Amino acid sequence: MEYATQMEAAKKGILTQQMQSVAAQEQIAPETLLQRVAAGTVVIPANHHHKSLRPHGIGQGLSTKINVNLGISGDCRDYTCELAKAKLALQFDAEAIMDLSNYGKTNTFRKQLLELSTAMVGTVPMYDAVGYLEKDLRDIKAKDFLEVVRAHAEEGVDFVTIHAGINRKSIDSFERSGRRMNIVSRGGSLIYAWMKMTGNENPFFEYFDDLMDILYAHDVTISLGDAMRPGCIDDATDAAQVSELVELGLLTERAWSHHVQVMIEGPGHMMLQEIAPNMQMEKRLCHNAPFYVLGPLVTDIAPGYDHITSAIGGAVAAAAGADFLCYVTPAEHLRLPSLPDVKEGILAAKIAAHAGDLVKNVPGARAWDNRMGDARRALDWGAMFKEALDREKAEAYFQSAHPAEKNTCTMCGKMCAVRNMNRILQGESVSLQ
Amino acid sequence: MEYATQMEAAKKGILTQQMQSVAAQEQIAPETLLQRVAAGTVVIPANHHHKSLRPHGIGQGLSTKINVNLGISGDCRDYTCELAKAKLALQFDAEAIMDLSNYGKTNTFRKQLLELSTAMVGTVPMYDAVGYLEKDLRDIKAKDFLEVVRAHAEEGVDFVTIHAGINRKSIDSFERSGRRMNIVSRGGSLIYAWMKMTGNENPFFEYFDDLMDILYAHDVTISLGDAMRPGCIDDATDAAQVSELVELGLLTERAWSHHVQVMIEGPGHMMLQEIAPNMQMEKRLCHNAPFYVLGPLVTDIAPGYDHITSAIGGAVAAAAGADFLCYVTPAEHLRLPSLPDVKEGILAAKIAAHAGDLVKNVPGARAWDNRMGDARRALDWGAMFKEALDREKAEAYFQSAHPAEKNTCTMCGKMCAVRNMNRILQGESVSLQ
C-alpha cells in the first residue's frame, strides 16, 4: 500500500476508490475532490477495517452532512433500542452515527454497529475509558487513554472526538475569565477533572504525536473536540471558547503533517448573529478544516424543542460554511432520547442541512425544491409525497383529512389558490359555490 | 374624542392609554413609543369595539410578536375545536389571532372570538366576502367588498389583511415574467380571478380612500397583503413580488395621510441568504412600516415539518428586522391543522421570535436565557421548568426517565458535565464508579 490515509493518497496524487465514489455522489470532478482532500478542506472518514461503509466526504463544496448520536449508558441499557436508532438513522440517510456508549459491553455494541452501518461511525474514546480500563478516572495513566483510542481504531471506527485543545494554556483563559455554565462537554469535563486531580497536562495534547501514529495506521479521522464550547447563550464566543479554538487550529497543522484527516468541532449555544462570524473564525484559525457543529442552539429557553432551536442555528451555520451538523433531539437537556425523539432530531437536522445546501448551491439541492414546486403547482399529490423528506408523515397528514373538493386539501378546499390560479390562467372561470 | 386612531393621537402628541400600557410592557419610554406610532414605525392594533383586548405594539424596538391562524372552513366546521385553538394561542401568549373563517356563520364565530380574545384579532375580509354577500365571486361588485370590511370593522376586528398592491401595474410584472408557482395567496388569487373575470381594477386599490375612511373610523390597522408572495424557493424576490412591494410602499404613505396604521405582509418561501436583504428592502420601500412575515420557509421539501422550515426563516427574519411572525404548523400544505398541530406551530413561532429578540436586544430577552443558564448550572430542575417556554413538556420529558444519580438526567447520569464541574470547582474529587 502506497498510503495509509486518504489525505496521504491525495497528497501523492492517488485517486482512491473512496474519492471516486464521493466525487460521483457529489457531482464534482474527482480531481477537484482530490485537491481538497490533500489540502485538508475535505475529509473522507473511512477506517480500513469498516467494511460495510459507504464513504462520504465532508467539507468544502460538498453537501452538508448530519450525525446521529446514540449509545448505551448506565441509565438506559437497551441494546435493541439503540440499534433501532441506528437503523432509523440509515433509513433517513444520516451520513454519520456517533456511538457514545459509556456503560457495559461497549465493544460488543460497537462491533454490531460497525457491521450494520453503511454510515461512518464516530466515537468519543474518553467516554469509554473508565469502563474499558476498569479503573476510576483519577487512577488512569496518561498513556492508558491512548490504548482506548487504539482499540477503537482497530475495531473500525471512522472518526474519533479527541479533546486535545483543552490544555493548560486554554484552561488559563477559562479560569481567569469565568463563565456562566463552566464546561458542558462531557469529555471535556472529564479531561479537566483528570488534569485537576492529577496535576498533569491533557494526555491527548501531551502525547499528540503518539496519538497521530495510531490514527494514521488505520486512517481514523480526528475530530478535534471543543471541550469549552458555550453551554448557554451567555458563554458564546468567550475567552475560553476562542482560546481553545486557537489550540485546535495549531493542532490541525500538526495532524496534517502526519497525514491524519482533521475535522473541528464547534458550538454549542449561541445567538443568531454570532454564528456566521464563528464559522469564519473557525475557517481562518483552522486553515479551512471542515467544521462539525453541535447546534448551535439559538436560545436556552426551549427545553423539549431543542431540535428546533438547533435546526435554526444549524441552518444558519451550514449556510455560513459549516460542513457537518450533529443532530439534537427534543430530549436534549432532559433525558436520553427515545426512538421518536431520534426521528424528530434527524428530520430537523436534515432540514437544516438542506437549507444550508441551497445557499451553498451544492449540485442537485435547488432542483429538489423545484420538483416540489412543480408537483404543488400541478396539485400532483403523489409527486409531492415522493419529493417529501418524510414521505410517510406527509402522506398520513394528507390522508387523515377529507376535502370535499377533489385534489385540494382541507386547508383551503374550493378556495385553494393553486386550483383557482390554474383555472383562471387556462381561461376557465372560478366559482366558489 | 380628539382622535380616531392611535396614529392620529400620536401625531397630536396625545399619549393614549394603549400607548402607556404597551410602553410599560416593553420597558421603553412612553414618549419614544409615541414618536414611533406617529412615524408609523410602530402600530398598536386596537379597534375601538374590541373591549377584551390587551393591546400590543408591533414594530421598531419592540419584542417580536406572533400570530395564530384559525377559523371555520367548508371542510372543517368544528366551532368548538377552533375556539380551543384560540384558547391555546392565549395560553402560550400569542399576541394575535387571525380568524380566517370562510364558511357558515362567520360573524357568530367572529363575535365569540372577539369576546374571549385578549389578543388582537385580524381577518381577511376577502375570504368572507362570498359567504357574507351570498353571491358567487364574479357577481360581486367593487364597492360590495368594502361593505364586508365595514362589517368586520364595526364588529371590533383590530387589523385586516387587504391585498391592495396586486393591481394592473404589478400584475403586469407577474404576467410578463411568469413564475413556477403563480399566486399562492388565497385572497390574492381571488382578487386576481375577479379582476380577470370582470376586467376591472382591484377594488381595494381603486377605492383605497373609501377603504381608509372605514378603517380610520374604528381604528382598524391595515395589513397590506402580499398577494404575490413566493410560493416556492424558485419564485422568491422575483419581479412579481418586488413590483407588488413597491405598490405596498406607495400605499403606505397614502394610508398614513389618513392616519390609518399600516403593517406590510411579506414572504413566503425563500432561501436563507435572501431573507435579510428582503427585510431591508421592505423597510426602505415601505418607509419602516412594521413587517409581518409568513415564514419565510427556507425549503420546500419538508411537508409535515413546515413549523421547522418556517422557524428557521422566521428567526432569521426577526433578527434582521421582521416585527411580527405568522405561525406555520406541521399541517401546512397538507390539511387544516389539528389542535396538536397548532400547539407545535405556536411553540416554533415563539422560539423564532425569541431568537430574534436576543439579536434585537429587546429588554428582558437575554435575562431570560441567563436565568435558564443559572438554573442549569445549579442543576435546579424546578427552576429549569419554570423558565421553560413549554413547562409541561419539559417536565413530562424529565419525569419519564429515571436516572440513578440524583439531580442528573438520563442523558449523562454520573458523567454529567455540570455535576462533575461543580464538584471539581468546589475542590471535591470526581468518581465515575
Residue of A232, A410, A411 lying closest to B369 (CB–CB): A232
The answer on A422 and A308 residing in a single domain is no
Is residue B407 very low, low, confident or very high in pLDDT (cuts 50, 70, 90)?
A: confident
Chain A contact present for B425, CB below 8 A? yes
Calpha distance B79→A377 (Å, rounded): 31
- The CB density around residue A84, as the number of other CB atoms within 10 Å, is 14
Q: Which three cell numbers stand for residue B413?
A: 447520569
Q: Is B51 part of a structural domain of the chain?
A: no
Nearest residue in A to B234, CA atom: A370
Closest Cβ opposite residue A369 in set B185, B234, B350: B234
Cβ <8 Å between B390 and A429: no
At residue A130, the pLDDT reads 80
Contact B426/A at CB under 8 A: no
A302 touches chain B (CB under 8 A): yes
Report chain A residues whose CB lies below 8 A from the CB of B136.
431-433
Of B181, B420, B432, which has the smallest distance from its Cβ to A377's Cβ?
B181
Domain presence at residue A91: yes
| Rounded Cα distance, B154 and A33, in Å | 66
Please name the helix (run of DSSP H) or strand (run of DSSP E) that holds residue A259, with its range, or none.
Answer: none
What does the pLDDT read at residue A105? 81
CA distance A369 to chain B (A): 5
Residues B70 and B160 in one domain: yes
Residue B336 touches partner A, C-beta closer than 8 Å: yes
Of B75, B130, B334, the CB nearest to A397: B334
Q: Check CB contact under 8 Å for B189 and A305.
A: no
- Over 90: is that where the pLDDT of B279 sits? yes
Angle between helices B339-360 and B306-319 (to 10 degrees): 20
Within an 8 Å CB–CB cutoff, is residue B432 touching chain A?
Answer: yes
Does one domain contain both A329 and A421? no
Q: Is residue B317 part of a domain?
A: yes
pLDDT score, position B83: 95
Residues A155 and A226 in one domain: yes
Q: Model pTM greater than 0.80?
A: yes
The angle subtended at Cα B105 by Cα B203 and Cα B128, nearest 5°, is 15
Q: Which amino acid is at A386?
A: K
CA distance B230 to chain A (A): 11
Residue A403, chain B, CB below 8 Å: the answer is: yes
Question: Residue B397: which of A29, A367, A338, A418 has the closest Cα?
Answer: A338
Q: Note whether A352 contacts B312, CB cutoff 8 Å.
A: yes
Verify that A348 and A429 share a domain, yes or no: no
Query: What is the DSSP secondary structure assignment for residue B138, as one 8-state letter?
Result: G
- B325: distance to nearest CA of chain A, Å? 15
Q: How far A413 CA sits from the closest chain B CA (Å)?
A: 7
Between positions 225 and 284 of B, the ones with CB within 8 A of A are 231-235, 271-273
Q: How far apart are the first and last CA of chain B?
A: 76
Q: Which of B341, B360, B379 is the last residue in one of the domains?
A: B360
Whether residues A238 and A335 share a domain: the answer is yes
Q: Which of A180, A311, A333 sits opposite B312 (nearest CB)?
A: A311
Is residue B152 domain-shared with residue B259, that is, in the same domain? Answer: yes
> Does A427 lie in the same domain as A322?
no
Chain A nearest CA to B13, separation (Å): 36
Is B388 domain-assigned? no
Q: Judged by CB atoms within 8 Å, which residues 165-184 of B form the interface with A?
A: 180-184
Torsion-angle region of A201 (φ positive above 0: left; ψ -120 to 50: alpha; else: beta)? beta
Residues of A in contact with B417 (CB under 8 A): 183-186, 188-189, 231
Q: Hey, are the CB atoms on B351 and A189 less than 8 Å from each other?
A: no
What pLDDT, on a 0 to 100 scale, did the predictor assign at position B90?
Answer: 98
What is the least distance, in Å, from the CA of B306 to any CA of chain A?
10
Instruction: Report the residue of B279, B424, B426, B429 to disrupt the A interface, i.e. the one with the largest count of A CBs within 10 Å.
Output: B424
- Kindly state the DSSP code that residue B41 receives in the 8-state scheme: S
pLDDT at B316: 98
- Expressed as residue numbers, the domain containing B423 is 409-433
Strands A159-162 and A120-123: parallel
Q: Which of B334, B360, B386 is the last residue of a domain?
A: B360
Give the number of other Cβ atoms within 10 Å of residue B393's Cβ: 19
Q: Which residue of B has its CA nearest to A195?
A: B424
CA distance linking residue A49 with residue A153, whole number of Å? 8
Q: Considering only alpha carbons, which residue of chain B is nearest residue A233?
A: B369
Cβ-based contacts under 8 A for chains A and B: 371
On whether both B421 and B302 belong to a single domain, the answer is: no
pLDDT of the residue at B280: 98
- Whether residue B1 is predicted with pLDDT greater than 80 in this model: the reply is no
Please state, in angstroms and as integers, the Cα–Cα distance from residue B162 to each residue in B42, B165, B190, B211, B352, following that order: 19, 9, 12, 10, 26
| Closest in A348, A400, A433 to B136, CB measured | A433
CB of B351 less than 8 A from some CB of A: yes
Contacts of A312 in chain B (CB under 8 A): 311-312, 315-316, 351-352, 355
The answer to whether residue B185 sits within a structural domain is: yes
A206 and A341 belong to one structural domain: yes
Look at residue A29 and tell me if it is in a domain. no
User: What is the total count of domains within chain A?
Assistant: 2
Cβ contact A232–B370 (<8 Å): yes
**In this complex, do A102 and B415 lie within 8 Å of one another by their Cβ atoms?**
yes
Last residue of a domain, one of B328, B360, B392: B360
- Whole-number average pLDDT of chain B: 96
Grid cell digits, residue B409: 438526567
pLDDT attached to residue A229: 98
In a domain, A293, yes or no: yes
**What distance in Å separates residue B70's CA from the closest CA in chain A?**
10
pLDDT grade for B236, boundaries at 50, 70 and 90 = very high
Contact A409 B333 (CB under 8 A): yes
- The phi and psi torsions of B409 (rounded to 5 degrees) equal -120, 170
B272 to A370: CB separation less than 8 angstroms, yes or no: no
CB-nearest partner of A234 from B331, B369, B400: B369
pLDDT at B132: 84
Q: What is the pLDDT of residues A65-104, one digit of tens each?
A: 999 999 988 888 889 999 999 999 999 999 999 999 988 8
Q: According to the model, what pLDDT value does residue B18 have?
A: 98
Q: Is residue A174 part of a domain?
A: yes
**Three cell numbers written together for B217:** 373610523
Respond yes or no on whether the N-terminal peptide bond of residue A345 is cis (omega within 30° of 0).
Answer: no
Q: How far is B198 from chain A (nearest CA, A)?
A: 11
Q: Could you tell me if B99 and B236 lie in one domain?
A: yes
- Within 8 A of A430 by CB-CB distance, chain B residues are 137-138, 190, 193, 197
B-chain CB neighbours of A76 within 8 Å are: 401, 410
CA angle A320, B348, B183 (to 5 degrees): 80
Q: Does B17 touch chain A (CB under 8 A)?
A: no
Answer yes or no: are the C-beta atoms of B90 and B121 closer than 8 Å.
no
Please tell me whether residues B218 and B298 are part of one structural domain: yes
- Residue A65: CATH number of its domain: 3.20.20.540
Question: How sure is the predictor about B198, in pLDDT bands with cuts at 50, 70 and 90?
Answer: very high
Q: How far apart are CA B225 and CA B233, in angstroms?
A: 19
A93-102, B75-84, B167-176, B330-339, range with the lowest pLDDT:
B75-84
Distance from the Cα of A225 to chain B's closest Cα (Å) equals 15
pLDDT at A25: 98
Please give chain A's pLDDT, 433 residues, in tens: 799 999 999 999 999 999 999 999 999 999 999 999 999 999 999 999 999 999 999 999 999 999 999 998 888 888 999 999 999 999 999 999 999 998 888 889 999 999 999 999 999 999 888 878 888 999 999 999 999 999 999 999 999 999 999 999 999 999 999 999 999 999 999 999 999 999 999 999 999 999 999 999 999 999 999 999 999 999 999 999 999 999 999 999 999 999 999 999 999 999 999 999 999 999 999 999 999 999 999 999 999 999 999 999 999 999 999 999 999 999 999 999 999 999 999 999 999 999 999 999 999 999 999 999 999 999 999 999 999 999 999 999 999 999 998 889 999 888 999 999 999 999 999 998 7
Across the interface, whether the CB atoms of A186 and B74 are under 8 A apart is answered no
Quickly list DSSP for B146-189: HHHHHHHHHHT-SEEEE--S-SHHHHHHHHHH--SS----HHHH
Best A406, A421, A431 residue to mutate vs chain B (most B CBs within 10 Å) = A421
ipTM of the complex: 0.97
